[in-house]
Amino acid sequence: MAGPISEERVWAELGEIVDPEIPVLSLVELGVIREVDVREDGVRVALRPTFAGCPALHVMRAQIGERLRALGAAKVEVEIVLDPPWSTDDIAPEARPKLAAFGLAPAPSPVIALEEILTAPRACPRCGSFNTVLRNDFGPTPCRMIHYCRACMQPFEAMKPV
């Protein structure tokens, strides 16, 4: 049997698993992988939910288990951790343009004064216009909200700043 998988290899594999609801970002780019610990008998991954009720969490957990077992890990333990809480600031900066290309406006970063962030217009991910307005603090998934672009005359989705 081969020796234990390297930590680097585990991170690379996790970097290939995409968020089931935002398939342009990997779990690593999304910032939900808190820790990887390779041990003699297997791998332990600390996974942070974006939102506590995120229904994609179970899918992510199952996929991490499958992919790392396929790499040869005998035992994969995916622990849900809440600390420090996930923030939209944890999304990799280089991954943000991919969100916009997907039609999902990235959250302003850093998230400090929430009220100011929410009242300032967000750029429309389609046309770039700032002639936009927040329509709904909630959206199709817990981590998204809905804005409206007056230039496109179309709604668009945005990451909910947390």
Partner 1 sequence: MNLELRLPLADALLRLADDEMILAHRDSEWTGHAPILEEDIAFANIALDEMGHAGVWYRLVAELRGEDPDTHPDQLVFHRALDEFRCLRLVELPKGDWAFTIVRQFLFDSAEVVRLQALRRSEYPPLAKAAAKIAIEERYHDRHLRAWVRRLGLGTEESHRRMQAALDQLWPYATQLFEPQVSESELVAAGLFPASEPMAAEWAEAAAAILADADLKIPTVGPGMNGGRENHTDHLEPLLAEMQSVARLEPQASW
Residue ranges binding partner 1 (CB under 8 A): 49, 51-55, 80, 82-83, 85, 87, 114, 118, 135-140, 142, 146, 160, 162
Strand order across the beta sheet in which 132-136 lies: 104-105, 154-159, 144-149, 132-136
**Identity of the residue, 5 or 81, whose beta carbon is nearer to partner 1 in the bound complex:** 81
**Identity of the residue, 102 or 148, whose beta carbon is nearer to partner 1 in the bound complex:** 148
**Identity of the residue, 96 or 144, whose beta carbon is nearer to partner 1 in the bound complex:** 144
- Residue 117 CB, shortest distance to partner 1, in Å, is 11
- Residue 9 CB, shortest distance to partner 1, in Å, is 27
CB–CB of 35/46 below 8 Å? Answer: yes
- Residue 8 CB, shortest distance to partner 1, in Å, is 29
Written as one letter, the residue type at 36 is V
Give the number of C-alpha atoms closer than 13 A to the C-alpha of residue 157, restricted to the C-beta side.
15
Residue with tokens 């007056």: 150
What is the DSSP pairing of strand 104-105 with strand 154-159? parallel
- Residue 132 CB, shortest distance to partner 1, in Å, is 16
